[in-house]
Amino acid sequence: MQRYWKFTIASVIGVTLFAFDFELFLASIPGLMALFHFNLNDINIIDDTSFAISALAAFTFGPLADKYGRKILFMVTILIYSIGSFFSALSVSVLDFTFSRSVVSIGTGPDEPLGFTLTAETAPHLKRGRQMLIVSLGFPLGQTLGAFTVYMFTLHSTYLPYVFFIGLLPALSLLYLRKGLPETDRFKDMEKAREELKENQKEIKTEYKINTKELKKASYKQLFDTDLRRKSILIAIYTAILTGTSTILLVSLPIYYLEVKHISFIDTLTYEFISFGISAVGYTIVAFSGNKIGRRNIVLIFMSLTFISMFGIILATGIYVLVFNILFTLFLLSQYAAWPFYVNEMYPTRVRASASTFAYGFEWLGNIIFPTLILSIVSVTGDWTLGIVSIMMVPALISILVTSLLPRDHPTAVLEENAI
């Protein structure tokens, strides 16, 4: 097996577990509310705390991966996830779930972006898009498996918290797999340059193109220097909107379907299961189209289609709710097969892990802000249409504008040539 395939496999399994666990909890919310008599405020406390911890972990682990190496952080994330999953299965109160889901979040927050960084740095440039597609497919696969697992537990009246035990064995097996991975060549090359800088060598020889002047600075300072500042700000805005909207899809819309569209919980789980399965097709379309026309351009197209499909969700009744839910999920989530690619391809090695986790940090912040806003509007006004328009449709328009201002990418170029 080519070495880059080992990194791809280690990454895609991690993304699958992350998405699986994420969906396990979100799909379980109505069931946990009934089992433990939680209310929406209780769920918000658990969600917002775990999302905040995910953001903090993402912001922290990226610079550490750029300083100490990708491999060691890639092992720590999956170990922490395993511990959190174990305690999630034993949780019975708001405090229990807040603690256990926060521990899980320390692992899952930085794991996916680090997986994309490792894949980008190890895959041959002409095959990079394909390898990163494989990694991204772990997201719909994990969500589909998560929704299906909760569906089966609910259908057979199995004690729901035990669902979190399922990810333990795969996680520990993945830890063993990652232990055998070497460090990436690009990081080792950069580390060599750092050592030569410390020794004040006049001529620094590297295999890959490195800006040694910038290399002396802290990671986040580099992200906001003149050459990267605009890109970093725009990516932060886009990811917060995209992922905040995605969490509304997973957390708030099921409640909307129950209360306004009068769809049962078990039917809502069926809708999610079907939607996530079909979205895998969208991932493939977006990834290969992005290789042809650029990641930025394909994001623009799919975010525009996401905006249009929101109208269908508001207007649809009966079976057409399913149709527009599938389209909305397809167009929205498929963008995960473009923007993580863009970030890892458009930033240099010296800050690649920091940039990737920085974007995911704003993803988790968006997960807090947007669902909280829409539920707040609905609780005050009782108007779901107002909430969807103001917290989903208007931000979608903003994200379309923001994406159009990003620099054009060259997806099949060597990383050092594409990272501008």
Domain contains 294: yes
pLDDT above 70 for 53 = yes
Is residue 155 situated within a structural domain? yes
Asked if 309 contacts 229 with a C-beta cutoff of 8 angstroms, the reply is: no
Q: Which segment of 135-144, 287-296, 407-416 scores lowest on mean pLDDT?
A: 135-144
| DSSP line for 201-236 | -SS---SS---HHHHTS-HHHHHTSTTTHHHHHHHH
pLDDT tens digits for 58-99? 999 999 999 999 989 989 999 999 999 999 999 999 999 999
Q: Residue 381: give the domain boundaries.
A: 3-183+217-418
pTM value surpassing 0.75: yes
369 inside domain: yes
Q: Which tokens belong to 332?
A: 């929205």
Please check whether residue 199 lies inside any domain of the structure: no
Helix (H) or strand (E) holding 393: none
Residue 162 lies in a domain: yes
Count of domains observed in the chain: 1
Mean pLDDT of the chain: 89
Domain-embedded: residue 90: yes
pLDDT of residue 277: 73
Read off the amino acid at residue 86: F
| Residue 403 clears pLDDT 90, i.e. is over it | yes
pLDDT tens figures, 214-255: 888 888 999 999 889 999 999 999 999 999 998 888 778 878
Closest CA to 143 of 18, 50, 44: 18
pLDDT-wise least confident of 13-22, 274-283, 324-333, 341-350: 274-283
Residue 210 inside a domain? The answer is: no
The residue with tokens 């060598």 is: 201
Contacts of 323 (CB under 8 A, 6+ apart): 312, 316
**Could you give the percent of the chain with pLDDT greater than 90?**
56
Give the CATH number for residue 141: 1.20.1250.20
**Tell me: the pLDDT tens digits for 342-400?**
999 999 999 999 999 999 999 999 988 998 899 899 989 999 999 999 999 999 999 99
Helices (H), 382-407: 384-388, 394-404
Which one is predicted more confidently, 202 or 227?
227
pLDDT value, residue 420 = 65
Position 208 in a domain:
no
